[in-house]
Structure 1
Amino acid sequence: MAALAGLSFVSSAAVTVQKQNYQGWPNSYRISNGEVELVVTGDVGPRVIRYGFVGGQNLFKEYKEQLGKSGEAAFQARGGHRVWKAPEDPVATWAPDNVPVEVKQTAQGVIAREPKEPLTGLQKEIEIRLAASGSGVTVIHRITNGSLFPLEFSAWALTQMAQGGTAVTGFPPRGKHPVNLEATNPLVMWAYTDLSDKRWTFTKKYLMLRQDPANAEPQKLGTFNADTWAAYVLNGEAFVKRVRADASKTYPDFGCSFETFTNDEFLEVETVGPLTKLQPGQTVEHVENWSLHKNVRLDAKTDAALDQLILPLVQATNGVR
């Protein structure tokens, strides 16, 4: 972790916000309750570039060569957590977020809001609410239609995880034939998806994807679960994100509320909101709940082992009011 120095501002009895220099970005904001910490960038974004235990590893990916930089003409991966619009568009979705953002302090964290994007007319923001104790975080993503025309899209929350870990997500509750005859969920492929790739592991209840720094071939799958969640296990710690999805609504990418992607540089765990038609000036909101956990090791990738190891962490991830 880079050295941080700055002025502290008390947000609540237990949550503090510090404006600090993080990895060359002088206008960064560290939010902490003494147990965990997040860093939100003010020089680019909106981005959450760090989430970890105080003094511990950053579970989020960081592109070392891009840290501290800003003003580039093209989109920069950078790492961390961001919000995009879906379905993915090679121009509008990849609009650069390389300019300073407005950061407003709140009682439980910050709100980081970008200027309206010249390319799309959209304005994106991320609000962080950190619990007074423990690791719970509520992350609220908002996208406002600042254009002159109605637009239809989904809010898409993408978290780039550091190298070397394994992502786990759950399928909707399983049943038995011939009792349960109706389809329960999609399993969506991309043109480059290869189910024979050894980084994938499937059980009856779970899907797993391992990040391998030595394998540059991209992989991606998507699915739908009313209780959408993902865990990422790295070096004995786990990051969990969770969101409620609505089966009565239409989701992009053949109905995905969750997607995961990897290559040799990172692994991404992504949640997707429903397609929403916004009139000019209207805003769509997408809420994730996060948590961190210690002493988590994937020694066995079986339903029984994951039921015991991962499910309690997911059930404990309920966010901050």
Structure 2
Amino acid sequence: MQKQTSLLGLSHCVVLSNGIVDVTVSTEIGPRILSYGFSGQDNILGLYPAVATPTEWGEWKPWGGHRLWTAPEAIPRSYAPDSAPVRSDNEGEFSLRLRQETDRSGVEKEMEVSLAPEGTAVTITHRITNRTLWPVRLAAWGITIMAPGGWGLMPLAEFRSHDEELLPAQPLVLWYFTDLSDPRWVLGSQCVALRTDPGYPAPQKAGIMNREGWCAYIRGREIFVKEFPFENGQEYPDYGCNNEMYGAGSYLELESLGPMRMLAPGESCDHVERWSLLRHERAMGTVADSAPEVCRMIRGKIGSGR
């Protein structure tokens, strides 16, 4: 089912609903997915309509929710303003295609948002098209801003003893502003976790090569799961990352990245995410105590074999 609604003062928004979860997208800006949650209940995505970043091309606003960027991150290219209307095409009762006109960086961004007729699954197919007159090297980058009050999680490779395995398992990539002594970070045997905390506004970021192809955000009883592909043998941005987390105070982003592509003029690349929502029988405890249980729960759900 689809219906019109307003959100963040944007009057032209569309809700996709199957009676279990609702997904709201805007056709006035973006493309953006502004809300996702169980029907009639809280939005698991974060909204920040007052935040803005000035660039030489004009003001860029995150607005909130889910967006499509290009990696590696650079100003002004990544921050090309996208607060103008997008084209919206109905692809069926539970599916909508959103297409932005070519931005100042010379790329066209498109999202197809498809809600499953039953359950909580949402599939987002991102497409980047090079509209310049020269080849452009980039990666598609899906960024999801989460609602305050929870914590993000990226899984680590399965533990193996020194007797079993001598070679490294995966990259863990840090930024110049990353401080692993910050109490928002929790590094465990199964995952890297980052808490939201308004008392710690300093930005933090880390990334991994995630062969399992999932990450999560935990808030109360709800667990948001983002799944994405890993293409073995391909080059990924940021020292090989296909999964990253960024946090600053109450703000947190879960990010997935596709491999680097050299796009000829008119050529496109796609990147697919699959979302789902789980509800635990009780609210989660501390990050350190809850992370192993969450990892087991998600791995069991998506059939990772662990």
TM-score above 0.5 = yes
CA contact (8 A) 2:206 2:246 kept: yes
Residue of structure 2 aligned with 1:262, choices 235, 243, 247: 247
Query: Offset at 1:293?
Result: 1.6
Aligned to 1:23: 8
Query: Offset at 1:19?
Result: 2.5
1:245 aligns with 2:230: yes
Query: Offset at 1:309?
Result: 3.3
Letter in 2 for 1:230: C
Q: Tell me, what secondary structure is at the counterpart of 1:313?
A: helix
Distance 1:169 1:315 in 2: 16
Instruction: Decide whether aligned partners of structure 1 residues 45 and 64 sit closer, same or farther in structure 2, where only a CA change above 3 A counts.
Output: closer
1:111 aligns with 2:97: yes
Query: Offset at 1:147?
Result: 0.7
Query: Offset at 1:299?
Result: 2.1
Residues 37-186 of structure 1 mapped to structure 2, 5 A cutoff:
37-65=22-50, 73-107=58-92, 108-117=94-103, 119-186=104-171
Distance 1:31 1:63 in 2: 22
1:287 aligns with 2:272: yes
Letter in 2 for 1:162: A
Instruction: Give unmatched runs, 5+ long, in structure 1.
Output: 1-15
1:221 aligns with 2:201: no
Letter in 1 for 2:35: R
Letter in 2 for 1:115: E
Distance 2:130 2:300 in 1: 34
Q: Tell me, what secondary structure is at the counterpart of 2:275?
A: strand
Letter in 2 for 1:109: S
Query: Offset at 1:75?
Result: 0.5
Instruction: Decide whether aligned partners of structure 1 residues 311 and 109 sit closer, same or farther in structure 2, where only a CA change above 3 A counts.
Output: farther
Letter in 1 for 2:138: F
Q: CA RMSD in A?
A: 1.9
Distance 2:267 2:68 in 1: 17
Distance 1:188 1:25 in 2: 37
Query: Offset at 1:83?
Result: 0.6
CA contact (8 A) 1:211 1:266 kept: yes
Instruction: Give unmatched runs, 5+ long, in structure 2.
Output: none
Aligned to 2:283: 297
TM value normalised by structure 2: 0.92
Distance 1:23 1:274 in 2: 33
Q: Tell me, what secondary structure is at the counterpart of 2:298?
A: helix
Query: Offset at 1:23?
Result: 3.0
Distance 2:284 2:214 in 1: 17
CA contact (8 A) 1:289 1:317 kept: no
Query: 1:238-267: CA deviations, max 9, x gaps?
Result: 111011211300001000011101002410
Distance 1:123 1:212 in 2: 35
Q: Tell me, what secondary structure is at the counterpart of 2:50?
A: helix
Count the aligned residue pairs: 297
Residue of structure 1 aligned with 2:186, choices 194, 201, 223: 201
Query: Offset at 1:317?
Result: 5.1
| Percent identical residues | 34
Instruction: Decide whether aligned partners of structure 1 residues 317 and 131 sit closer, same or farther in structure 2, where only a CA change above 3 A counts.
Output: farther
Distance 1:150 1:309 in 2: 42
Q: Tell me, what secondary structure is at the counterpart of 2:85?
A: coil
- Structure 1's consecutive aligned runs of 4 or more residues displaced over 4 angstroms after TM superposition are 300-303
Deviates further, 223-232 or 188-197: 223-232
Distance 1:111 1:259 in 2: 26
Distance 2:294 2:137 in 1: 39
Residue of structure 1 aligned with 2:263, choices 278, 281, 304: 278
CA contact (8 A) 1:231 1:310 kept: no
Instruction: Decide whether aligned partners of structure 1 residues 87 and 149 sit closer, same or farther in structure 2, where only a CA change above 3 A counts.
Output: same
